[in-house]
Amino acid sequence: MKTNILVIGLGLIGGSLAKSLMRHEDAIVYGYDADALTVRKAYKMGIIHKPVLSLEEAAAEADFIFFATPVGAAKKLLQQSRFWKLRKDVILSDTGSTKMEIMEAAKDLEHVFIGGHPMAGSHKSGVEAAKEVLFENAYYILTPGPLAGAAHINKLKDLLAVTKAKVHTLSATEHDHMTSIVSHFPHLIAASLVHQLDREQEYPFTRQLAAGGFRDITRIASSDPVMWRDITTQNNGMITRQLAQWIDEMANLKKLLEANEEEPIRRYFEKAKIVRDQLPIAGHGAMYSVFDLYIDVPDVPGIISELTGYLAEEQISIVNLRILETREDVFGILVISFQTDEDRQRAKACIAARTVYDVYIS
């Protein structure tokens, strides 16, 4: 018996989810998007089995429906779904980055709703960037609604098993609290650091020096402003609480610096180093991340093509590469970024085996 899966919203996340769910031999994956051109692209690219023209008709046949749209759009679609003729045992889910708002919107639905958040991303967007391996080794959080029993949760987990994501169940409050700490709030900090740099007018050369470590630690400030506007407003309470704690931390740090005693300052940095060094290295966390490899290479013509050629021979895909001009506290001069830690480890072994260059993972 075939399992009908409807994915609404065929951007990076929705497209990647649809493509990975096509691994099920008994599944038929239907795709819908507000942009008809996106639906056609998804079908031609083999991301979905069947394009959907009538959302209501496709929903009526679905065993699973995923709302892979921004939270605001998903809330409107949930309201519309009240008027759809859905199967009694259908399971509804979403892919939003915040969960309390969507769970509140879904609490009175007559059908089972299980919130979802696949914690994966890419530097690219749109259906063209969809990958069936996007969720592999990434956390995929489920937040069950009031009608969702253990059997429903297990059914959804079984379906998602083909994504090879690490599926965990949390409450919406737990999810939004945790992601406010390790994902949402850091985006505000990165944005504020860039704003502080932008205010620097006295020494214009400062921006040139920002090309190294500063650019790396503020990378997430380049994320989609509209998406982060929505996330910030939807998880406002949790993020504001983190901001208040951060202000207290900065006040304590200011006192430490004003006292200007060497040993307390050293202990402050030592504790930060210990905690940071204990964080997991492999796998995806709550924020989209790339996996960087640092390589000490000589400044000679052809060196980059040599290294990328080795990686191409091993069929190792790279996300980005750059040369560091400012190298304070950073290993290496060439940085190559990869989608997964597995690719990074393979690249490290490849380059170490073929060259005499020092290769680091920071």
DSSP string covering 5-70: EEEE--SHHHHHHHHHHTT-TTEEEEEE-SSHHHHHHHHHTTS-SEE-S-HHHHHHH-SEEEE-S-
Task: Classify 338 as helix, strand or coil.
Answer: strand
- Which pLDDT score is estimated for 281? 63
The terminus-to-terminus CA distance of the chain in angstroms comes to 49
CATH code assigned to 3-170: 3.40.50.720
Cβ neighbors of 9 (< 8 A, separation 6 or more) are 32, 33, 34, 67, 68, 69, 73, 95
Q: Indicate where the chain has its CATH 3.40.50.720 domain(s).
A: 3-170
DSSP string covering 270-323: HHHHHHHHTS--SS--SS---EEEEE---S-TTHHHHHHHHHHHTT---SEEEE
User: What's the pLDDT band for 190 if we cut at 50, 70, 90?
Assistant: very high
Q: Indicate where the chain has its CATH 3.30.70.330 domain(s).
A: 291-360
- Which pLDDT score is estimated for 340? 79
CATH code assigned to 291-360: 3.30.70.330
Q: Indicate where the chain has its CATH 1.10.3660.10 domain(s).
A: 175-260
User: What's the pLDDT band for 324 if we cut at 50, 70, 90?
Assistant: low
Cβ neighbors of 102 (< 8 A, separation 6 or more) are 71, 74, 75, 78, 94, 96, 115, 172
- Which pLDDT score is estimated for 59? 95
Superfamily of domain 175-260: 6-phosphogluconate dehydrogenase C-terminal like domain (1.10.3660.10)
pLDDT in tens, 268-293: 999 999 998 888 765 555 555 668 88
> Would the pLDDT of 122 be above 80?
no
pLDDT in tens, 20-66: 999 999 999 999 999 999 999 999 999 999 999 889 999 999 999 99
- Which pLDDT score is estimated for 318? 87
**Does the reported pTM lie above 0.85?**
no
Distance in angstroms (rounded) separating the CA atoms of residues 334 and 292: 10
- Which CB contacts under 8 angstroms, 24+ apart, belong to 152-157? 152/91, 152/112, 152/114, 153/114, 155/91, 156/64, 156/91, 156/93, 156/114, 156/116
Q: Is the pLDDT higher at 19 or at 132?
A: 19
